[in-house]
Structure 1
Amino acid sequence: MAEKPSTWSQLLVGYGEDAHRLGEGRELWLGGVRIESDRGAIAHSDGDVLLHALSDALLSAFALGDIGSYFPDHDPKWKGLESRVILEVVLQKVRESGYRLSQLSAVVTLDRPKLGPHRTSIQQHLALLTGLPEKRVGLTFKTSEGLAPDHAQCRVVVYLEPLPEKQGEKS
């Protein structure tokens, strides 16, 4: 008799990363939260490296390309786009594929400002945007140790599981 696939065999993993140069007088957005800073991302959209890396990680789990495939930076209609909109579109693609986000782990590299004081607000906002419990939103903040003081970077790993109604169909 064939064994039913285990939940573990149905889990998907995705990885994404993003980086932007920083410029004076621009807004700094991380995880959908505006961070007080004299510098922000130089980008076609709002430049939220955390939401961009998260969106790319979700797309990579399904081999669906990257956010540039859906929101190309050469298209003027996406100029100034809020990254939460990108994430909403990508999360819909995840649901249409029969999955949901189960956990995310992100590492943000930024020399200044210090992000520790913003951890709770970023974690809460990511939980709200993704529908995850806060304890499933892992955030690590690093500096570049002076190697790249004029840029922000983020790496994200995501775990996805079948939607409960889809899990029964796979058995």
Structure 2
Amino acid sequence: MSAFRIGFGYDVHQLKEGEEFWLGGIVIPHSKGAVGHSDADVLIHVICDALLGAANLRDIGYHFSDQDPQYKGIDSKILLKEVMALLNKEGYQIGNLDVTICLQQPKINPHIPAMKACLAEVMNIEANKLSLKATTTERLGFVGREEGVSAYCVALIHP
């Protein structure tokens, strides 16, 4: 087993009026929310994909299919806990995670401490191992038109 492994995650969800907006395990007050089979928490989904990729365990869709009714509306924190159990079973622990959320509105910066605290608790890691950043796309593309949210994550894991 290699000493260090790196994984990358990317996810996107459509935004729709009247939906709850789950991001980083918490509800963000906004008139729009993300749409998906689960709670559509794009931040947790990219973390799951980056961790699974780093461990060579495929992707979130392989483990939690959007065709499986048991995952309809599921809290993504449950999926993240299951991903952490898979990593632990393989003998890996998190070195660090670096996440960028792309969203025009609402502003995410005020919510980052609460998201970090929530996710660190779910993953059972120190909060300083998780970097959360947010950016807009300067009103360009689907994110800029407020049609969707996207996120990227890089994960470093080790035995």
TM bracket (short chain): over 0.9
The residue number in structure 2 matching 1:120 is 113
How far apart are 1:52 and its partner, in Å? 0.3
Residue 159 (1) aligns with residue 152 (2)? no
How far apart are 1:134 and its partner, in Å? 1.6
How far apart are 1:12 and its partner, in Å? 1.1
C-alpha distance in structure 1 between counterparts of 2:29 and 2:4, whole Å: 37
How far apart are 1:77 and its partner, in Å? 2.0
After the TM superposition, which segments of 4 or more aligned residues of structure 1 sit over 6 Å from their partners?
none
Contact 1:13–1:61, Cα closer than 8 Å, also in 2: yes
Which of these residues, 19, 28, 48, is aligned with residue 35 of structure 1? 28
TM-score, L = length of structure 2 = 0.93
How far apart are 1:76 and its partner, in Å? 1.8
How does 1:1-171 map onto structure 2 within 5 Å?
Answer: 10-147=3-140, 148=142, 149-162=146-159
What do the CA deviations read for 1:40-84 (whole angstroms, capped 9, x no partner)?
Answer: 111010000010000011110122111111111122221101101
How far apart are 1:161 and its partner, in Å? 1.6
Runs of 5+ in structure 2 lacking a partner?
A: none
C-alpha distance in structure 2 between counterparts of 1:84 and 1:111, whole Å: 24
What do the CA deviations read for 1:111-166 (whole angstroms, capped 9, x no partner)?
Answer: 1110011111111112111122122111110012112221111101111121xxxx
For the pair shown, which has the larger CA radius of gyration, 1 or 2? Answer: 1
Contact 1:100–1:161, Cα closer than 8 Å, also in 2: yes
C-alpha distance in structure 2 between counterparts of 1:140 and 1:26, whole Å: 23
Letter in 2 for 1:77: Q
Task: Please give the root-mean-square deviation of Cα atoms over the aligned residues, in Å.
Answer: 1.3
Runs of 5+ in structure 1 lacking a partner?
A: 163-171
C-alpha distance in structure 2 between counterparts of 1:18 and 1:71, whole Å: 14
The residue number in structure 2 matching 1:169 is none
TM-score, L = length of structure 1 = 0.87
How many residue pairs get aligned? The number is 155
C-alpha distance in structure 2 between counterparts of 1:100 and 1:85, whole Å: 18
